[in-house]
Amino acid sequence: MAKVNIIGAGLAGLSAAITLAEQGYECNLISNFPSERAQSVLAEGGINAALDTCGEQDTVENHFEDTMRGGVYLADPNAVWGLVQNAPQVVQRLADMGVPFNMENGRILLRSFGGQNKKRTAYAKSSTGKFLVYALIYESRKYEARGLITRFCHHEFIRLLLEEERGVRVKDTYTGRQYDFVGNVILATGGINGVFPGMTTGTVHNTGDVTATVFAQGMRLSNLEMMQYHPTTIGISGKRMLVTEAARGEGGRLFVNREGSPWYFMEEKYPELKNLMPRDVVAREMYFVVRREDTDGQVYLDMRGLPGDVWKRKLSDLREELLHYLALDPAKEPIPVEPGIHYFCGGIDVDERHATNLAGVYAAGECCSQYHGANRLGGNSLLGAVYGGKVAAQSVMADGDMKPQDGSVRAVDVSDAFAGEASPALIEELGKHLYEGLGIVRSEADLSKALGLVCELEDTCNCQRETARIALAKAILKSALARRESRGAHYREDYPDRDETFQRITVADAGEGKICISWKDIPERRGV
Amino acid sequence: MREGSRIQLQIVRRESTEAPPYLQRILYETPDPNATVATALTDINKNPNQKDTEGNVVTPIGWECNCLQKKCGACAMLINNRPMLACDTKLSEYGKKGVIRVEPLKKFPVIRDLIVDRSILQENLKTIKAWLEEPVLLKDKQYDVAYEASRCLQCGCCLEICPNFYAGGTFAGTAALVPVSRLLAELPREEQKKLAKAYREHVFEGCGKSLACRKVCPAGIDVDKLLVNSNAMAIWKKQL
Ligand SMILES: Cc1cc2nc3c(=O)[nH]c(=O)nc-3n(C[C@H](O)[C@H](O)[C@H](O)COP(=O)(O)OP(=O)(O)OC[C@H]3O[C@@H](n4cnc5c(N)ncnc54)[C@H](O)[C@@H]3O)c2cc1C
Ligand code: SF4
Ligand code: SF4
Ligand code: FES
């Protein structure tokens, strides 16, 4: 029977696999690491759904509006409507699978998250992602035992097969052997952290190589300039560690010392949502306050006012983490925080059905550009990964373009140009230039300079993966240069205002070795 | 300001499963007071000119890591003879004598250098049929058990230290006990039975209850509590 090939076994990949299996379809679930190691396990704060269990009259329409407004109207409204409308069902299904969401009298409790003025985020203390992943692993295991899901862990993506046969070439990292998997492909490979090595809150093995490679192979990417900085991260060895937004959702407050006394700048400037403004706004305010002459240049997160019960029942893991990494007790001392790269709103361009521009290839989860527009709301990406994986699987089934040989695996004994590893030194240098250009506050000058430096690296490339990485880097910078306005995560000091003529999506294409940035219109919202 | 570290890292390496192991000594210095074994391995691999103490160029060291914040279980290895997470082992704490010895876990087949094949963890859970057939309703009192059990990283440290576990044996150890505890806490009474049988065979009967596993668990999972709870439900048939 025809099988679907899924690359990536985080939440999006698992969700796609389970959706197929529930309908009796078979799949190969391929990933460089087992699901237990996927970035999804790091998610802390929670998952959004208008469950309205807190008596606030929350509705799906409210969730829709918040998501569109948060993304500053750069997302496909029809896709977003599907997401928010299905969210309560998605969360209920996860609860049925045994996710220990915080509950009270049989109701799932909700917490406040940024950019939303209703309580809408379901959570399991501050380890929500972990529990979601484990619940889906259990579910997947059931179908693995029944032969519907076949796992290929320690198998790394090399490239798509786009010749007469479509499919994907992978390498077993244990043996070094290569295999071709024939048939439809769902990419669920997560965000491109490795493009910014050591500078993100995400995981090491989401290297960005998959996105870079498929881009070189003709895949369209979109909204690349929309990289989200999370306001509250701390530097630990080798990475930025997230301090979950739930800290502010539960009452944490940001301040900076101004002329000797704490100034709760968010509360003064934004009396309604205060510390829970969308992430782009908070990160930018932090950027500006630390540069003021009357402040001491460090923002703190003040959680001293949180009741003991909140620490115990809702944020126990966060407290342990801060004690462990900073030797600071957040219940007693303010925590020094800085913004850090956290989420890639853009990525592989997909339509409402999660199909890409390449026939037979679909994408879901953080690797694709869907739902979040110019800025993602906290709690919407776990939802986007689980729901997106499901939609991608449904689309593969609906498209029905499967042949009996699909899913068959063939050992191949050729050296593939895309199989070489990029050198860590080049990755590091590339990341540094990108970071300089793509800060919280950007300008034509900084972006052009970064682009120049990236282009200089082109001559030093030794393998196709390096070339592909440089092309991806250029595409991100060019997208940011093209957007001569400020919107969501993309703030240009030379164009500080929003410009409605730019209410369009940047699309990057790597045709004929040249990178082109074009614009895609946002579809009209259909009647509901 | 706390200081950085200067240590000799002694790494037990092996080019492939069949190749003989050898010890490589590398001097590593860092100003970062929080640097861990993971930081050292990352930095060493980043430097194409890194030499060992005998002047040989260090080829890339195979090891696994992903989250760097003790949440994914990838980086488990033997450090000074104790199973630990590389990203949770600070050089300043564990390299006091100036030397840190790093080896692959020994209970699992070595693939290369510090990479071992831990797929037996997933296989064992498949054998035990650790999954839910029907939707569950979490009762409030089981929440704590379900929560505690969901914290397992599937890192394998508990299996490494356990005197009774070996790959391929019937006994599946704490790495199975913990996830199964969640199911036992969640399943309705009638459905517990099948799982209880597997639990008896693959966990209860093999375990000497010395709790060496608890001491090394990097997630600090309350193994005794889960053990008591699961034994009560699966073996002594008490509904807690
Ligand atoms: C610290 C942190 C906290 C977060 N908190 C929240 C939150 O509270 N709420 C929320 O909604 N979102 C949160 N997010 C975001 C959210 O966790 C992610 O966007 C989401 O989990 C992504 O899921 P995914 O399945 O797309 O990707 P991932 O979970 O990243 O999975 C990617 C998969 O692809 C595989 N893969 C990658 N590259 C290759 C390759 N080359 N070959 C083969 N396989 C490959 C990996 O092994 C993995 O299995 C958080 C993120 C971080 C980093
Ligand atoms: S209690 Fe002892 S025998 Fe039982 S799993 Fe732990 S280490 Fe092994
Ligand atoms: S119980 Fe602890 S030591 Fe064992 S696999 Fe789980 S996290 Fe690792
Ligand atoms: S890298 Fe994830 S636990 Fe160490």
Is A469 catalytic? The answer is no
Residues B124 and B102 reside in one and the same domain: no
Report residue A528's pLDDT band, with 50, 70 and 90 as the boundaries. low
SS (H, E, C) A266-279: HHHHCCCCHHHCCH
Instruction: Tell me which of B87, B116, B145 is where a domain ends.
Output: B116
Nearest residue to A188 (alpha-carbon basis) of A377, A401, A425, A29: A29
Residues A119 and A18 reside in one and the same domain: yes
State the residue range of the domain holding B50. Answer: 5-116
A231 lines ligand 1 (CB under 6 A): no
> Which residue among B217, B224, B227 is best mutated to probe the pocket of ligand 3, counting the most ligand atoms within 8 A of its Cβ?
B217
Residue B30 lies in a domain: yes
Instruction: Tell me which of A380, A396, A412 is where a domain ends.
Output: A412
Chain A residues whose beta carbon lies within 8 Å of the beta carbon of residue B153: 36
**Cβ-nearest to B66 among A153, A204, A325:** A204
Asked whether the beta carbons of residue B125 and residue A237 sit closer than 8 angstroms, the reply is no
Q: At which residue do the structure tokens 């509360």 appear?
A: A267
Residue A469 lies in a domain: yes
A216 lines ligand 1 (CB under 6 A): no
Q: Are strands A347-349 and A368-369 parallel, antiparallel or unpaired?
A: parallel
Test mutation, A22, A44, A108, A204, chain B, max B CBs within 10 A: A204
B213 lines ligand 2 (CB under 6 A): yes
Question: At A394, which helix (H) or strand (E)?
Answer: helix A380-399
Helices marked H in A24-158 — which ranges? 60-70, 77-96, 128-145
Distance CA A258, CA A265 (A): 10
Taking CA atoms, A139 is separated from A16, A133, A472, in Å, by: 12, 10, 36
Residue B240 lies in a domain: no
Residues A325 and A386 reside in one and the same domain: no
Closest-CA distance of chain A to residue B147, Å: 6
Instruction: Tell me which of B58, B84, B116 is where a domain ends.
Output: B116
The pLDDT tens digits of the residues spanning A230-280 come to: 999 999 888 999 998 889 999 999 999 999 999 999 999 999 999 999 888
Q: At which residue do the structure tokens 């930081």 appear?
A: B39
Q: Supply the pLDDT for residue A64.
A: 97
Residues B74 and B47 reside in one and the same domain: yes
Which residues contact residue A92 at a Cβ distance below 8 angstroms, ignoring those fewer than 6 apart? none
Which residue from B minimizes the CA distance to A124? B147
Helices marked H in A400-443 — which ranges? 424-437
Give the CATH number, domain containing residue B229. Answer: 1.10.1060.10
SS (H, E, C) chain B: CCCCEEEEEEEEECCCCCCCCEEEEEEEEECCCCCEHHHHHHHHHHCCCCECCCCCECCCCCCCCCCCCCCCCCCEEEECCEEEEHHHCEHHHHCCCCEEEEECCCCCCEEECCEECCHHHHHHHHHCCCCCCCCCCCCHHHHHHHHHHCCCCCCCHHHHHCCCCCCCCCCCCHHHHHHHHHHHHHCCHHHHHHHHHHHHHHCHHHCCCCCHHHHHCCCCCCHHHHHHHHHHHHHCCCCC
Whether A150 and chain B come into contact, CB under 8 Å, resolves to: no
Q: Name the token pair of A144.
A: 């693995």
Q: Supply the pLDDT for residue A513.
A: 74
Distance CA A500, CA A328 (A): 45
Question: At A453, which helix (H) or strand (E)?
Answer: helix A444-457
Residues A176 and A266 reside in one and the same domain: no
B228 lines ligand 2 (CB under 6 A): no
Helix, strand, coil shares of chain A as percentages rounded to 5?
40, 25, 40
Residue B33 lies in a domain: yes
CA A515-A431-A176 angle, to 5 degrees, is 85
Chain A residues whose beta carbon lies within 8 Å of the beta carbon of residue B146: 98, 100
Residue A221 lies in a domain: no
Residues A59 and A152 reside in one and the same domain: yes
Residue A305 lies in a domain: yes
Give me chain A's average pLDDT, please.
Answer: 94
Q: Evaluate if residue A62 carries a pLDDT over 60.
A: yes
Q: Are strands B22-30 and A409-412 parallel, antiparallel or unpaired?
A: unpaired
Which residue from B minimizes the CA distance to A144? B126
The amino acid at A79: A
Q: Return contacts of A515-519, CB within 8 angstroms, 24+ apart.
A: A515/A471, A515/A474, A515/A475, A515/A478, A517/A475, A517/A478, A517/A479, A517/A482
For chain A, positions 34-73, list CB contacts with chain B under 8 A. 34, 36-39, 41-42
B72 lines ligand 4 (CB under 6 A): yes
Residues B137 and B220 reside in one and the same domain: yes
Residue B46 lies in a domain: yes
Distance CA A137, CA A132 (A): 9
The pLDDT tens digits of the residues spanning A391-437 come to: 999 999 999 777 777 778 999 998 898 999 899 889 999 999 999 99
Q: Name the token pair of B196.
A: 């209880």
Residues A273 and A372 reside in one and the same domain: no
Whether B122 and chain A come into contact, CB under 8 Å, resolves to: yes
Distance CA A50, CA A84 (A): 8
B73 lines ligand 4 (CB under 6 A): yes
**Cβ-nearest to A37 among B34, B45, B73:** B73
The amino acid at A230: H
Q: Is A413 exposed, middle or buried (0-12, 13-18, 19+ CB in 10 A)?
A: exposed
Residues A34 and A139 reside in one and the same domain: yes
Nearest residue to A141 (alpha-carbon basis) of B157, B117, B128: B128
Instruction: Tell me which of A368, A387, A412 is where a domain ends.
Output: A412
Q: Evaluate if residue A371 carries a pLDDT over 60.
A: yes
Q: Supply the pLDDT for residue B113.
A: 98
Q: Are strands B5-13 and B76-79 parallel, antiparallel or unpaired?
A: unpaired
**Cβ-nearest to B71 among A42, A139, A174:** A42
How many structural domains comprise chain B? 2
The pLDDT tens digits of the residues spanning A507-523 come to: 999 977 799 999 999 99
Residues B72 and B123 reside in one and the same domain: no
Report residue A1's pLDDT band, with 50, 70 and 90 as the boundaries. low
Residue B78 lies in a domain: yes
Residues B195 and B160 reside in one and the same domain: yes
Residues B93 and B147 reside in one and the same domain: no
Whether B10 and chain A come into contact, CB under 8 Å, resolves to: no
Closest-CA distance of chain A to residue B39, Å: 6
Residue A521 lies in a domain: no
Whether B16 and chain A come into contact, CB under 8 Å, resolves to: no
Low-confidence ranges of chain B (pLDDT < 70): 1-2, 140-141, 238-240
Ligand 3 centroid from CA B194, angstroms: 24
Residues B124 and B225 reside in one and the same domain: yes
Q: Report the share of chain A in percent with pLDDT over 70.
A: 100
Say if residues A215 and A349 touch (Cβ distance below 8 Å). no
Whether B35 and chain A come into contact, CB under 8 Å, resolves to: yes
Ligand 3 centroid from CA A90, angstroms: 29
The pLDDT tens digits of the residues spanning A178-218 come to: 999 999 999 999 999 999 999 999 999 999 999 999 999 99
The pLDDT tens digits of the residues spanning A102-112 come to: 988 889 999 98
Q: Supply the pLDDT for residue A314.
A: 84
Q: Name the token pair of A99.
A: 């996710």
Asked whether the beta carbons of residue A103 and residue B69 sit closer than 8 angstroms, the reply is no
What phi, psi does B140 have (nearest 5°)? -55, -40
Ligand 2 centroid from CA B213, angstroms: 6
Q: Supply the pLDDT for residue A4.
A: 96
Residues A320 and A242 reside in one and the same domain: yes
Distance CA B10, CA B41 (A): 11
Closest-CA distance of chain A to residue B81, Å: 23
How many structural domains comprise chain A? 3
Closest-CA distance of chain B to residue A440, Å: 24
Residue A214 lies in a domain: no
Whether A130 and chain B come into contact, CB under 8 Å, resolves to: yes
Residues B25 and B111 reside in one and the same domain: yes
Q: Name the residue at shortest CA distance from atom 7 of ligand 2.
A: B162
Q: Name the token pair of A515.
A: 């990178």
Give the CATH number, domain containing residue A472. Answer: 1.20.58.100
The pLDDT tens digits of the residues spanning A149-189 come to: 999 999 999 999 998 889 999 999 999 999 999 999 999 99
Residues B136 and B63 reside in one and the same domain: no
Test mutation, B5, B67, B114, B226, chain A, max A CBs within 10 A: B67
Q: Name the token pair of A268.
A: 């003064």
Residues A129 and A183 reside in one and the same domain: yes
Ligand 3 centroid from CA B222, angstroms: 10
Report residue A49's pLDDT band, with 50, 70 and 90 as the boundaries. very high
Report residue A115's pLDDT band, with 50, 70 and 90 as the boundaries. confident
Instruction: Tell me which of A293, A319, A340 is where a domain ends.
Output: A340
Q: Are strands A514-521 and A504-511 parallel, antiparallel or unpaired?
A: antiparallel
Residues A328 and A360 reside in one and the same domain: no
Q: Which of A120, A151, A159, A279 is catalytic?
A: A279
Q: Is B160 left (phi over 0), alpha (psi -120 to 50) or beta?
A: alpha
B63 lines ligand 4 (CB under 6 A): no
Q: Supply the pLDDT for residue A290.
A: 95
Q: Return contacts of A57-64, CB within 8 angstroms, 24+ apart.
A: A57/A118, A58/A118, A58/A119, A58/A120, A60/A84, A60/A85, A60/A87, A60/A88, A62/A118, A63/A87, A63/A116, A63/A120
State the residue range of the domain holding A112. Answer: 3-193+200-207+345-412
Residues B105 and B123 reside in one and the same domain: no
Q: Name the residue at shortest CA distance from atom 3 of ligand 4.
A: B70
B155 lines ligand 3 (CB under 6 A): yes
Residue A30 lies in a domain: yes
Distance CA B65, CA A199 (A): 16
Give the CATH number, domain containing residue B97. Answer: 3.10.20.30
Distance CA A273, CA A114 (A): 8
Residues B97 and B170 reside in one and the same domain: no
Q: Supply the pLDDT for residue B239.
A: 57
Q: At which residue do the structure tokens 């890409």 appear?
A: A356
Ligand 2 centroid from CA A434, angstroms: 49
Residue B71 lies in a domain: yes
Q: Supply the pLDDT for residue A165.
A: 87
Residues A92 and A113 reside in one and the same domain: yes
Q: Return contacts of A502-507, CB within 8 angstroms, 24+ apart.
A: A503/A73, A503/A74, A504/A74, A505/A74, A505/A222, A505/A223, A505/A349, A505/A369, A506/A222, A506/A223, A506/A224, A506/A225, A506/A346, A506/A479, A506/A482, A507/A220, A507/A221, A507/A222, A507/A349
What phi, psi does A49 have (nearest 5°)? -165, 140
Distance CA A218, CA A3 (A): 24
Q: Are strands B82-85 and A107-108 parallel, antiparallel or unpaired?
A: unpaired
Residue A280 lies in a domain: yes
Residue B239 lies in a domain: no
Closest-CA distance of chain A to residue B187, Å: 9
Say if residues A184 and A395 touch (Cβ distance below 8 Å). no
Residues A395 and A487 reside in one and the same domain: no
Residues B97 and B12 reside in one and the same domain: yes
Give the CATH number, domain containing residue A56. Answer: 3.50.50.60
Q: Is A78 exposed, middle or buried (0-12, 13-18, 19+ CB in 10 A)?
A: middle
Residues A153 and A47 reside in one and the same domain: yes
Whether A29 and chain B come into contact, CB under 8 Å, resolves to: no
Question: Would you say the C-alpha torsion B37, B39, B45, B48 has a positive or negative sign?
Answer: negative
Q: Are strands A335-344 and A261-263 parallel, antiparallel or unpaired?
A: unpaired
Residue B28 lies in a domain: yes
Q: Supply the pLDDT for residue A506.
A: 98
Closest-CA distance of chain B to residue A134, Å: 7
Give the CATH number, domain containing residue A246. Answer: 3.90.700.10
Instruction: Tell me which of B116, B135, B155 is where a domain ends.
Output: B116
Q: Supply the pLDDT for residue A207.
A: 95
Residue A283 lies in a domain: yes
Q: Supply the pLDDT for residue B14.
A: 96
Whether B111 and chain A come into contact, CB under 8 Å, resolves to: yes
Distance CA A260, CA A289 (A): 14
